[in-house]
Structure 1
Amino acid sequence: MCTWAELTTGRRIKLLRGSDLTQLALAEAADVPYGLVRKAEQDRCELSIGSLLKLAAALQTDPTVMVGQQAPRQGMSLGTRAALRALSDAVHESALGEWDGCEDPSGVEALSEARDGAWTAYWAGDTVTVSALAARVLMEGQARYSTASGAERERLGLVLASTYRVAASCATGYGYRDLALSALTSAKGLARESGDPVLGALLDSTLSWTYLRSAQLSRAVAVAERAALRIEPSFSTSDRPHLLAYGRLMISAAVAASRGEDGSAADTYLSQAHAAAARLGSDMKLHGTNFGPTAARTEAVGIAVALKDYGRALTLSSHPDMRTLPAGMSKVARNRYRLDVALAQASSGLYDAAGDTLVKVGLDAPEWVKHQALPGVIGRRLASVSTARVRRIGELIGVPLIG
């Protein structure tokens, strides 16, 4: 199988166009002749720099992807690529003060509502809506923030910081590390100016996850641990927001430690997360973050899987409290947990159960699952028993699980 770099430019254009666009539609979107697109896909012409840039813009991708210097994310649709490009533009242009066209920006209440909508869309796996709402908040919010003062400026700062955070979370999920770090840089500055330690701690939780996804495990642990020490609560007197932030940071540290196969450290951090969850007593949502007993239990399963303690993972997942997930649990969190369970099942020889769990994930979150690594890992383990069934599952959920 050829790598992306080994494909011809014409083949790359055809794959990027996919089924979303016809050749004619691509030509019209790029403002180039139809014949140019047809010949380019057949590798019968040499594209000029100008045509290459026009086609890349129409396909909502970077010219470096077009020429094979970097590969696109697997399974990413044209709509998702366009959404991430728009989100990237908003993150950078808003921070640079390039908010032309925002002469009459929305007020704090409307921007807060849009920010909340972006978080809801994020946890539902709806990247297009995340981008549309977050871009609006960042551009209009920064325009208003530049002239605001007093209480309005403080509230706008918190709204903007939280919105940069959802942008960073979305970017991290797709492997766009540099975009995530840019968004978090802007968010941290706003959080410091607004003086909200809880939001600042949650930003570090997202930063820890960004490092985790970049395989910088020691940095992921260190960031979460330092932030937790700054906000460490007294379990007898602390308010719920501080408990939420502390618990989420302990989860971040535990997950990163487990990926580094440090079971002792992971268990220590996880026990602190369970303590914070017990003190909270019920699940809580703040600044787009969910934490409480449900998160502590489901993350414990994922940590056991990362440590290859599949028996423990299955024992935890079979606890009475885990048999029925809360109705309010987000689609993304629910299916992350299910993938962990499916991997534990497949690794324990429960192949039919693993296949059924994987199908549930694919049907519940068909777009989200395309960008996850675990389905492929699970598919390869199931293929040791029946490649035919794995192919059927892949066709059912729209994800090729084996070659």
Structure 2
Amino acid sequence: MSNWADLTTGERIKHLRGSDLTQQGLAEVSGLSYALVQKAEQNRGELSVGSLLKLAAALTTDVSVILGQQAPRRGMDRGDRAALRLLSDAVHESALGEWEGIDDPSGVEDLRKARDLAWAAYWASDTSKVSSYASKVLMEGQVRYASATGAERRQLGLILASTYRVAASCSNGFGQRDLALSALTSAKYLAKEADDPVMAALLESTLSWIYLRGAKLPRAVTVAERAALAIEPSFSKASRPELVAYGRLMVSAAVAASRREDESAADNYLSQAHAAAARLGTDEKLYGTSFGPTAAKTEAVGIHVALKNYSRALKLANHEDMKTVGKTMSKVARNRYKLDVALAQCATGLHDAAGDTLIEVGLDAPEWVKHQALPGVIGARIAKVSTARVRSISELIGVPLIA
């Protein structure tokens, strides 16, 4: 087989489909039309992000593999694979009680600090540090949790639940959905034991994202909507944690609805997210989650891009109060937003600007960008204007964008 990145997208889909699955079979498994699968393998027309998600799920791979950014079974480098192995061991062994040899586990405050460092590493796209800190918290925290009582047990339960959640988020980012679901299962048990509805709501937000990445879009919407209804606050009396959880769930529902191209539902959920953000007034961080006016505005751009409202997305992105928005966001959130902007720039003919934005992302987060789907989509669209430009971007950021 040729170098994976040198194949066309259609050739990669055909290879992944193999001889055991017909085009009709792929259409049925993915929920796409037979005509669309045919066109995809013949490289006719552009595949939407929603269609790519469905194809990736049906072919049990990741979008970045279909687009040639990663080769099958070799998508992660050695460091990421080692980090995820360590994380997997910690997630499963801690839940099973396999923590022999830990005689003097850290106390609540030290575990809380390590949990916070794991989340900071996640938002900085440092997989090795996520794994290192999270593994420590899960193993030592479960030892202490097993003998703790009262307020200490509840505090430890919430620290562990939040740490299992960062493990789930990290795993899902690499397409390791089974590990993500295992981590989330443990987290939900601990949140229930602690009787914390806000933590429980945030876990449902993560579950919605897992379903979204697995192309289970109706389920992604349902999970987020159901959890939001359970915690729906009275805006005049709601606590800030409740507003953060509710707003984040409304964003999750809006994102999933936009991937289904359900504009009415997406707009409704998004308006609720804006209302929660307005009530907060400022950005808030809670259990590794950030929500407030910044998140509501930047997520709105991505949602309108998914709905193909590209001019509206750029109008929002170019608003005066968005010019410095990146300075207050984490590396991952900032670059997710910039990729949405780049896609909107492509769609409105601003290919040079899209290329510049893509370069900004690649230089700011070189490892993170390798595992994202949108750079390949953006590169393919810029290539229709100038393949030379795309090849120079690929060399600069170290990610193959076109064959």
- Scaled to the shorter chain, the TM-score interval is 0.7 to 0.9
Question: Is the deviation greater in 172-181 or in 324-333?
Answer: 324-333
**Equivalence for 2:173:** 173
2 CA distance for matches of 1:381 and 1:345? Answer: 10
Q: How does 1:181-330 map to 2 (within 5 A)?
A: 181-330=181-330
Query: Which amino acid is the alignment partner of residue 85 of structure 2?
Result: R
Instruction: Output the CA distance in 1 between the equivalents of 2:230 and 2:195.
Output: 14
Greater alpha carbon shift after TM alignment, 315-324 vs 254-263: 315-324
Give the CA deviation at 1:321.
1.0
Matches within 5 A, 1:350-369: 350-369=350-369
Amino acid at match of 1:235: F
Count of aligned residue pairs for this structure pair: 337
Structure exhibiting the larger radius of gyration computed from Cα positions:
1
Counterpart AA for 2:123? W
The 8 Å contact of residues 221 and 252 in structure 1, kept in 2 or not, is answered as yes
Q: Over residues 82-136 of structure 1, what are the superposed CA-to-partner deviations in whole Å (9 max), with x where a residue is unaligned?
A: 0011101100000000012211111111000000000000000000000000000
CA contact (8 A) 1:165 1:184 kept: yes
Read off the aligned partner of 1:71 and give its amino acid letter: P
Q: Work out whether 1:118 is the aligned partner of 2:118.
A: yes
- 2:73 alignment partner in structure 1: 72
2:228–2:250 Cα contact (<8 Å) kept: yes
Q: Distance in 2 between matches of 1:180 and 1:71?
A: 20
Cα distance in 2 for residues equivalent to 1:254 and 1:102: 44
TM-score by length of 2: 0.82
Deviation, structure 1 residue 302: 0.2
- What letter matches 2:329 in structure 1? M
Give the structure 1 partner of residue 107 of structure 2. 107
- In structure 1, give the amino acid aligned to 2:164: Y
Closer, same or farther in 2 for the Cα pair 1:309/1:73, shift >3 Å?
Answer: farther
How many Å separate the matches in 2 of 1:361 and 1:73?
23
Identity %: 74
Deviations 1:159-218 (A, max 9, x none): 000000000000111111100100000000000000111010000000000000000001
Moved over 6 A (4+): none
TM-score w.r.t. the length of structure 1 is: 0.82
Mapped to 2, the partners of 1:331 and 1:3 lie a distance apart of: 31
Q: Is the 8 A contact 1:94 1:142 kept in 2?
A: yes
Aligned-CA RMSD value: 1.2
Q: Distance in 2 between matches of 1:154 and 1:328?
A: 32
How many angstroms apart in 2 are the aligned matches of 1:325 and 1:239?
25
Q: Distance in 1 between matches of 2:136 and 2:314?
A: 43
SS of the aligned residue for 1:290 comes to strand
- The Cα of 1:151 is off from its aligned counterpart by 1.1
Asked if the contact 1:164–1:186 (Cα under 8 Å) also holds between the matched residues in 2, the reply is: yes
1:146 is paired with a residue whose SS is: helix
Contact 2:326 2:334 in 1 (8 A): no
Give the secondary-structure state (helix, strand or coil) at the position aligned to 1:285: strand
Q: 1:162 maps to what in 2?
A: 162
- Return the alpha-carbon distance in structure 1 between the equivalents of residues 74 and 217 of structure 2: 22
Partner-residue secondary structure (3-state), 2:132: helix
How many angstroms apart in 2 are the aligned matches of 1:174 and 1:3? 22
Superposed displacement of residue 73, structure 1: 5.2
What is the match of residue 332 of structure 2?
A: 332
Q: Which has the higher contact order (CA 8 A, sep 6+)?
A: 2
Match of 1:19 in 2: none
Alpha carbons 1:73, 1:174 under 8 Å: kept: no
Amino acid at match of 2:73: P
1:89 correspondence with 2:86: no
Structure 1, unaligned stretches of length 5 or more? 5-69
